[in-house]
Structure 1
Amino acid sequence: MFKKISLVLAGTILLSSFSASTTAPVSAGESLSESVNEYVGVPYKWGGTTKNGMDCSGFILAVFDHFNIDLPRVSRDQAKTGTPVARENLRPGDLVFFNTSGKGISHVGIYVENNKFAHASSSKGVTLSRMDQGYFATRYVTARRITNDSSYQHMVR
Structure 2
Amino acid sequence: MSPQSVVRFAQSLPRLAYAAWLLAAIALLSACAGSPHRRQPAAGTSHSALADLPPRAPSAASAGEANDILFRAIGLVGTPYRWGGNTPSGGFDCSGLVDYIYRTAAGIRLPRTSSDMATMDGRKVRQMTQLASGDLVFFAIGGAISHVGVYVGKGRFVHAPNSGGTVRLDDIDGPYWGSHFAYGKRVLD
Q: Take 1:63 and 1:15, find their aligned partners in 2: how far apart are those partners? A: 21
Match of 1:75 among 106, 114, 118: 114
Paired positions, count: 129
Shift of residue 39, structure 1, vs aligned partner: 1.3
SS at structure 2 position matched to 1:99: strand
CA contact (8 A) 1:92 1:112 kept: yes
**4+ aligned runs moved over 2 Å, structure 1:** 10-19
Aligned to 1:56: 94
Q: Take 1:60 and 1:15, find their aligned partners in 2: how far apart are those partners? A: 23
CA contact (8 A) 1:17 1:37 kept: no
Asked if 1:127 is matched to 2:164, the reply is no
Match of 1:117 among 152, 157, 175: 157
Correspondence list, 1:77-92, <5 A: 77-81=116-120, 82-87=122-127, 88-92=129-133
One-letter code aligned to 2:99: L
Aligned to 1:108: 148
CA contact (8 A) 2:70 2:134 kept: no
One-letter code aligned to 1:69: I
TM-score by length of 2: 0.61
* 5+ residue gaps, structure 1: 1-9, 20-28, 149-157
TM-score by length of 1: 0.73
More helix by share: 2
* 5+ residue gaps, structure 2: 1-21, 33-64
- 1:76-100 deviation digits (Å, cap 9, x = unpaired): 1101121112322111000000014
Shift of residue 33, structure 1, vs aligned partner: 2.6
SS at structure 1 position matched to 2:160: strand
Structure with greater Cα Rg: 2
Asked if 1:137 is matched to 2:178, the reply is yes
Q: Take 1:116 and 1:12, find their aligned partners in 2: how far apart are those partners? A: 17
- 1:19-66 deviation digits (Å, cap 9, x = unpaired): 9xxxxxxxxx98223211231111111111011211000000110012
Cα RMSD (Å) of the superposition? 2.5
